[in-house]
Amino acid sequence: SPASVIWQDEEVMALMNLRAVNKGECMVIPKEHIDHFADIPDPLAAKILLVAQRIGRKIMQAYQPQRIGYVVHGYGVPHAHFLIVPQNDPNDITSRKFMRVVDGEIEFTEQLLPLIPREELDRMAAELALDYP
């Protein structure tokens, strides 16, 4: 499916998450395929962090969450991604909204969250658009 892009250049893309715990959740990725975040070259990693920080500021202005969390968990898709998570509760990053118990084991899956309609994703991407650098 097409992406709802917040910002991009030749190296980096920031886009809305298709499923989210809170309004404004998004990610920043390198355009080059790099599986592990630790393998991203330093200058590119610095750029990803700066873009994510600036988007976090925009999320704070637009949606007034209590805090912004940043997550690199390394799973989900085989491509490095830096998640930006608006938080209204200390447990939003490990929210019960995407948690279930299977055979006595706790499992986290974003598949439990509803897909956000494309029109809403595009609107949020426009609200969070960056003027960078």
SS3 of 47-110: the string is: HHHHHHHHHHHHHHHHHCCCEEEEECCCCCCCCCCEEEEEECCCCCCCCHHHEEEECCEEEECH
> 54 φ, ψ to 5°?
-70, -35
CA dihedral 86, 123, 45, 39 (to 10 degrees): 90
Residue boundaries of the structural domains of the chain: 5-127
- Tell me: pLDDT of 128 over 70: yes
Looking at per-residue pLDDT, the higher value among 73 and 79 belongs to 79
Range 5-127 has CATH code 3.30.428.10: yes
pLDDT digits (tens, 9 = 90+) for 9-61: 999 999 999 999 899 999 999 999 999 999 999 999 999 999 999 999 999 99
Please state, as a whole number, how many other Cβ atoms lie within 10 Å of the Cβ of residue 4.
21
